[in-house]
Amino acid sequence: MRILKWIGIGVAALIALPFVAFGVLYTTDSVFYGRIATIFTIDPVKDVDWYEPLERVPGIEGDSLPRAAVSTRTISEEAWASARAYAEETGSVALLVWHKGALQYEHYGEGFDRTSRTDPASMHKSVMALLVGAAIADGTLPSVDEPVATYLTEWANDDRSKVTIKHVLQMSSGMYRDPFSPSPFGATMKLNLGTEITDMTLSQTVRKAPGQEFDYNNFNPQTLSIVLERATGQRYAQILSEKLWSKIGTGDAYVWLDHEGGLPRTYCCLQATAEDWVRIGLLHLNKGAVDGEQVLPVSWMEDVITGSDVGPNYGYQTWLGSPYKAQRDYGPYVDAYVRHDEPYDADDVIFFDGAGGQRVYIIPSQDMVIVRTGTGGIDFAAGSFVWEDSRIPNMLMRGIIQN
């Protein structure tokens, strides 16, 4: 009996040990470990109140986007029904379709409407590309060929001195990043949930010479946020508001900070409405203009959607639908891929890509913008994300009513 008693005490101790260890760690950084403890209990797209602290990005909300009357719709009801069915099947929060000067259709999941903010994950990266263009246009940054080390002096005396703004925009900086791991001691979790990401970003080394390899690496857009703040002497939210957000008719948005007064995560976490994302898409559709005012240069909008030799499907923080790739990957260090079961019906599709199949598709030749926000997952058996990228754009393009 005594042996069984001691075995029971030993088993109880082993069970309790991880909780005790976590409790000790929690005291060292309660915010970080609190995020770790709760992140898997929320929906990262829908539960925007979980993200704390947030910083407001002031907008100047304009008139509501025009809605097409049923009698004037330019896309068939059948095509919309098919697209909406796929959106609902894959856990969408919103699906909006702009075509020929008006919103043709919009659908919101239960509990959501046109005023609901969601977290778009990596779609924020494509907004970052526009901000860099604004900084070059107003002379804050000289050009994309400027070394990042001009602003990140911590990089001036090693191999990172050769990295240019263009390399970072194209995800070809050669910057190292840890393989994904749920460990609280790895860089992945500290970047995603940690409370001090400036020093972490500045401490990243390079694994390859810049320009040699496409690697979809979250440290690249995070680097750009530090460049912009140092070049302007302003906070990122202020830059975003003044140079872009307040000029395109969007309402207030929010960015997620690592800590109060800290650095926002600019590889993700720009909380906005689905209609706001339509307006960003329209900025592309109209080559940088809003109501006749050129917010960004036409030349920059063209540069953003020009691929590189090492990343032909990637421009400046923005994805390109051509050339066709059935299994679109994120570079050599990410195992999962996204299925494109067929080529897009238009060869000028560009899009923002956020985890879970969150998308802004812009199709200039069809005068079309499609926004889909929502949850999604990974098909572990196939090794791919559940979202299939060509389905909704092709459904809707094939549904255009020919006059």
- Given this model, what pLDDT does residue 187 score? 86
DSSP labels, 208-233:
S-TTS-----THHHHHHHHHHHHHHS
Domain segments of the chain: what residues? 2-37, 47-63+124-277+292-298, 65-113+321-403
- Given this model, what pLDDT does residue 5 score? 45
- Given this model, what pLDDT does residue 52 score? 96
Closest CA to 93 of 67, 124, 117: 117
∠ CA 178-179-182, rounded to 5°:
100
- Mean pLDDT per block of 10 residues along the chain (403 residues) reads 44 47 64 92 94 96 89 97 96 97 97 96 98 98 98 96 98 89 83 95 95 96 98 98 96 97 98 97 97 96 98 98 96 91 98 95 98 82 81 98 86
- Given this model, what pLDDT does residue 56 score? 98
Neighbours of 98 (CB within 10 A): 26
For the chain, the maximum distance between any two Cα atoms, rounded to a whole number of angstroms, is: 88
Reported as type and span, the H/E element at residue 26 is helix 2-28
- Given this model, what pLDDT does residue 28 score? 74
Of 2.30.60.10, 3.40.50.2300, 3.40.50.1240, 3.40.710.10, the CATH number of 47-63+124-277+292-298 is 3.40.710.10
- Given this model, what pLDDT does residue 25 score? 61
Helices (H), 29-149: 30-39, 77-89, 123-137
- Given this model, what pLDDT does residue 324 score? 97
Asked whether 323 and 372 are in contact (CB, 8 A), the reply is: no
- Given this model, what pLDDT does residue 181 score? 74
